[in-house]
Structure 1
Amino acid sequence: MFEMEERGKSETVCLQSVTQPDSLEANKDGSNNEDYDPHLYRQVTAPTNNLETLVHLLKCSLGTGILAMPQAFARAGLVTAIISTVLVGALVTHCLHVLVRSQYAACKMRRVPLLTYPESMSASLSAGPSSLRGLGRPSAITVDVFLVVYQLGICCVYIVFIADNIKKIVDPHYVMSIEIHMVIILIPLLAFNLIPSLKLLAPFSALANVLTFIGLGIVVYYLLSGKKSNEPLDLWGSPATFPLFFGTILFALTAVGVVIALENNMKTPKAFGSPCGVLNTGMSIIVVLYVAVGALGYVYCVSECSDSVTLDLPQGPLATSVISMFAIAIFISYGLHCYVPVEVVWRGYLLPWLQRSGSQRLRLWEYALRISLCLITFVLAIAIPRLGLFISLFGALCLSALGICFPAIMEICVSFPDKFGPGRIRLIKDVLLFLIGIVGLVAGTYTALLSIIRSFQPQPTEAQPLHA
């Protein structure tokens, strides 16, 4: 998940309130909402065309998630993982369509050109069944909480990733614990996270994207040409570890934090969700890439797959250069991802409170917030330095809710009371999606937390066999 300046701008638009243009004042009457098309009233600076939007969608899905796919395949089994990746990809794509359609319907009801994800959730519930209408404001706060937790979770993953990869480079010369490597990178991370402007981050972001694509190309070359493991392949996997696979694949595939922003910033937004549009095309390419890297990586290392496939590359100058590329790219992306929770907390909660209290040290408070959020991710990463389990945990916990449950609830509410289709098929479908999301959230979170706890327990040895 590596982004250029445009993605950062898009997420900022997605996370901030949108001012309604004066031209809409004439439409604030009792007329039918079907007469109002939000797309016609959007005022976007430098809108993106279809190809640019597709490129952004691909960029934000190629990062630590795709590098963790070989280990995910090891947890699910080769055949099960291939089939499940395609099925989860189809599920995620459908839920993203549901999210975009529901946001559009919420904009029509509110007669505004744009709404953020939390605002869309609030507007949808306010128009739904009477039992849910009082949850409008709490639901927006809930979405904000999940967004912040998810983005901070990504930052935790990135700290562990950087430290793991630096350790692999340094270990042949001088061995240090992973925690020491995290402490060493803390000060640069704090300094980088204090940069307040996305414009200043843009050149670094461009460099991160170049390094990412070069690194992925070299990784695929190694997987195709390197010596494969002679260990027999597990084709079907185990139900006990499948929830970890589910969490990882959700983390890798679900670009829920950016999809609404990308659609909101398009020159032709109707082309985003069309049958052969940007979303379907982009997700198809992404699923193919993830299946390819996951399968090739699993065949390459079988049960010995590390949290990131870069850690399985053989020693050598080329492998060292790949690891360095990804470490630098992830370091840069940390600042971009931490920018999102800063914006949510600062603009949505802390800044309004400070303005009401008459505080004059707004810049100082903003820097304090940036440092605090960075330290939170550092403490979590150093306490639980398990990259793969972190990915599974935050994928299952946050993206089951943000990517599946919440869009299903939104569609139920915007379709209420008489837009569920023949036999109320849409209602049945959304209830099933919600249940799938809840099962994935509970099972994935429980399995990831249990695995994290077990990873800290001493392992039995031959001298000390494990007894029932």
Structure 2
Amino acid sequence: MNLAKGALGGGVLAGHVAYMTGGLYPSMCLNVIYGFFMCYSFYTLAMCGQRLCRRCHVASMTYPDIAEASCALFPNPKIARCSFCFRLYVDLITCLDLFGACAAYQLMVAKTIKQLVEGLPRSSIEGQNALCLATAVHYAIKNNPGFTGMVPAHNFEAVIKYTGMAVFSMSTAGVAIPVENNMKDPKKFPFVMFLVVPPP
């Protein structure tokens, strides 16, 4: 479930905006390509982590542990000496990615709540949550849009913007290795990943 929450978290709220930005046909094609690419990347990372755990005789590894061990075990001693620096680099990039995602989620949620409750009298948080849920259900049942009126394609710049939004929406990078580390049988991670995060 944690892997599903990572893939279908707050970023899903940006999915429709990404499709509107990139155009229908390029977005559909790129969505499938990015989905396969992400699944394969996380599969490769998890398999490398398992192999490094066996070589280093440890039970589990974090992202920085995997980075440091892979660099330290490299045959070239000049590169192997840089293993701790590589670990710090991976730590920094992971922090930037996760803090950036948190900031983006907060901005999306704040903007959505502002749009929903603007002009309404003050109410409790529970009332606002009920209003958000009721609005989403009403939109899904009554006003579910079809493909008519959607722009089939935009320019290259719009496709690049779509790429940023889509990768942000679909990425489970922050939870893939922690989930694999906490599984009873980590060798089943590829099955769980392809079951929970299928390419769209």
1:92–1:254 Cα contact (<8 Å) kept: yes
In our comparison, the structure showing a higher alpha carbon Rg is 1
Deviation at 1:157, TM superposition (A): 1.5
Query: Are 2:174 and 1:257 equivalent residues in the alignment?
Result: yes
Q: Could you report, residue by residue, the CA deviation over 1:251-310 in whole angstroms, capped at 9, with x for unpaired residues?
A: 12221111111111111211112xxx10111111xx44xxxxxxxxxxxxxxxxxxxxxx
Residue 100 of structure 1 aligns to a residue in which SS? helix
1:78–1:235 Cα contact (<8 Å) kept: yes
**Quick one: distance in 1 between partners of 2:152 and 2:82?**
45
RMSD value, Cα: 2.5
Unaligned runs of 5+ in 2: 122-128
Unaligned runs of 5+ in 1: 1-54, 175-210, 289-468
Map 1:147-296 onto structure 2 (within 5 A): 147-173=94-120, 215=133, 219=136, 222-226=139-143, 228=145, 232-273=149-190, 277-284=191-198, 287-288=199-200
Residues 270 and 134 of structure 1, relative CA distance in 2, 3 Å threshold: same
Scaled by the length of structure 2, the TM-score of the pair is 0.84
Cross-structure match for 2:125: none
Identity %: 24
**Quick one: distance in 1 between partners of 2:178 and 2:16?**
30
Residue 21 of structure 2 aligns to a residue in which SS? helix
**Quick one: distance in 2 between partners of 1:86 and 1:219?**
26
Deviation at 1:224, TM superposition (A): 4.9
Residues 218 and 278 of structure 1, relative CA distance in 2, 3 Å threshold: farther
**Quick one: distance in 1 between partners of 2:53 and 2:115?**
49
Residues 68 and 220 of structure 1, relative CA distance in 2, 3 Å threshold: farther
Query: Are 2:7 and 1:68 equivalent residues in the alignment?
Result: no
Q: Could you report, residue by residue, the CA deviation over 1:401-449 in whole angstroms, capped at 9, with x for unpaired residues?
A: xxxxxxxxxxxxxxxxxxxxxxxxxxxxxxxxxxxxxxxxxxxxxxxxx
Deviation at 1:120, TM superposition (A): 0.7
Cross-structure match for 2:81: 134
Deviation at 1:61, TM superposition (A): 2.0
Residues 171 and 220 of structure 1, relative CA distance in 2, 3 Å threshold: closer
Deviation at 1:221, TM superposition (A): 5.5
**Quick one: distance in 2 between partners of 1:122 and 1:220?**
47
Instruction: Work out which structure has the larger RCO, using CA pairs closer than 8 Å and 6 or more positions apart in sequence.
Output: 2
1:76–1:245 Cα contact (<8 Å) kept: yes
Q: Could you report, residue by residue, the CA deviation over 1:59-116 in whole angstroms, capped at 9, with x for unpaired residues?
A: 2222221110111111221111111111100000000011001111211221111111
Map 1:68-467 onto structure 2 (within 5 A): 68-130=14-76, 131-173=78-120, 215=133, 219=136, 222-226=139-143, 228=145, 232-273=149-190, 277-284=191-198, 287-288=199-200
Q: Could you report, residue by residue, the CA deviation over 1:161-187 in whole angstroms, capped at 9, with x for unpaired residues?
A: 23213322442148xxxxxxxxxxxxx
